[in-house]
């Protein structure tokens, strides 16, 4: 049985990859062998003659267990759009069984897998299968990255409701500052804390250089390790 967490977000561009990299650093500092995995990554740039995805590169740089970029990002597409659209543009398909097998193979490389979703919680992947279904297939507790900007309370509560409706456990959430000038930030955090019914693993401010170590410095290491232990990790 896979051990670890599924990282989802209130929307796209809320910092899921930065938070996943920071969690990788935090758990690695605690002595765990962590396998960060981004099963689907859409959007590649040509760098030194090779097509690369920025998020996959960030997670690959954060891991310390010798994973290859392909093990971190098993399925990558060129166009920066919804994965099922990006796949169609390349004449490729997203197949459930092979992708799940690739995720599990990468997870087996470490003691803990941090599997990052794509976009929000319900993004179509192929007919009859979306990222919520992927989370159910993996059966991992869910960590919600809340992008702190106008509308975040509604997005967070709807996502939490969708997670629980699938029979999954929302084990924690992380606040990530998307809008550095967001008004009433403290009040929004208080409302989220009162409504999400899950502990907050940290509040990450807007960072000029969001390295894994810089993100990890704003996480509650004691709390996340305690919860990891209680999840038999």
What pLDDT was estimated at residue 230? 82
Architecture, CATH, for domain 4-230:
3-Layer(aba) Sandwich (3.40)
Model confidence at 232: pLDDT above 70: no
Q: Is 221 exposed, middle or buried (0-12, 13-18, 19+ CB in 10 A)?
A: middle
pLDDT computed for residue 1 by the predictor? 77
For residue 123, give the DSSP letter: -
Catalytically annotated residues: 38
Q: Give the start-to-end residue ranges of the domains of the chain.
A: 4-230
Is residue 162 a contact partner of residue 207, using CB atoms and an 8 Å limit? no
- The pLDDT-based confidence of 233 (bands split at 50, 70, 90) is low
Res 115: pLDDT: 98
Mean pLDDT value of segment 202-226: 97
pLDDT above 70 covers a percentage of the chain that reads 99
- Whether the per-residue pLDDT at 29 is higher than 90: the answer is yes
Picking from 136, 143, 134, 137, the residue whose alpha carbon sits closest to that of residue 24 is 143
Measure the CA–CA gap between 203 and 201, rounded to whole angstroms: 7
Average pLDDT of the residues of the chain:
96
Helix axes 131-138, 96-107, angle to 10 degrees: 50
């Amino acid at each position: 049985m896979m051990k670890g967490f599924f990282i989802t977000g209130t929307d796209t561009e809320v910092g899921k990859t930065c938070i996943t990299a920071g969690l990788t650093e935090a758990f690695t500092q605690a002595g765990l062998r962590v396998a960060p995995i981004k099963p689907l990554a859409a959007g590649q740039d040509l760098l030194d003659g090779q097509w690369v995805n920025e998020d996959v590169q960030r997670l690959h740089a954060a891991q310390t267990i010798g994973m290859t970029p392909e093990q971190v990002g098993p399925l990558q597409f060129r166009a920066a759009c919804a994965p099922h659209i990006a796949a169609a543009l390349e004449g490729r398909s997203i197949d459930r069984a092979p992708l799940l097998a690739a995720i599990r193979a990468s997870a087996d490389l470490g003691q803990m897998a941090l599997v990052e979703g794509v976009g929000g919680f319900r993004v179509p992947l192929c007919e009859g299968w979306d990222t919520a279904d992927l989370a159910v297939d993996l059966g991992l507790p869910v960590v919600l990255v809340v992008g702190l900007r106008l509308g975040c309370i509604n997005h967070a509560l709807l996502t939490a409701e969708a997670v629980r409706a699938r029979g999954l456990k929302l084990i924690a959430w992380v606040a990530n500052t998307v809008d550095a000038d967001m008004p009433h930030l403290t009040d929004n955090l208080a409302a989220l804390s009162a409504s999400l019914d899950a502990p907050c693993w940290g509040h990450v401010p807007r960072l000029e250089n969001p390295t894994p170590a810089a993100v990890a410095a704003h996480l509650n290491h004691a709390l996340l390790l305690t919860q990891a232990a209680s999840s038999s990790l």
